[in-house]
Amino acid sequence: MAEKKKTFEESVGRINEIIRGLERGDTPLEDSIKLFEEGAKLAGYCETLLRTAEQRVAKLTKTAENTVEEQPFEQVD
């Protein structure tokens, strides 16, 4: 049975758990590496979710003719 995909919030929560565990410094090396790998995969998954969400965000503005027009999301650098 395939594992259910985590939500963004669940993934971030798990990343925070991993960070706390690694920062304690009492995890054996092999377990630390596995946790690091899990965290890296979750971070990549979260980045994909954020990019997808960003692409879906649109700004609605009124035109001079008083109609609503969809415009692409503007990135802030």
Please say if the pLDDT value at position 48 is more than 90. Answer: yes
| Position 47 in a domain | yes
Please say if the pLDDT value at position 56 is more than 50. Answer: yes
Please say if the pLDDT value at position 74 is more than 60. Answer: yes
| Position 3 in a domain | no
Host H or E run for residue 62: strand 58-62
CB 46 within 8 A of CB 11: yes
Question: What does R_g of the chain's alpha carbons equal in angstroms?
Answer: 19
| Position 77 in a domain | no
Residue 16 belongs to what domain range? Answer: 8-72
What's the pTM?
0.69
Q: How confident is the model at residue 68 (pLDDT cuts 50, 70, 90)?
A: low
User: What digits encode the pLDDT tens for the residues 6-36?
Assistant: 999 999 999 999 999 999 999 999 999 999 9
What is the distance between the alpha carbons of residues 41 and 14, in angstroms, rounded to a whole number? 11
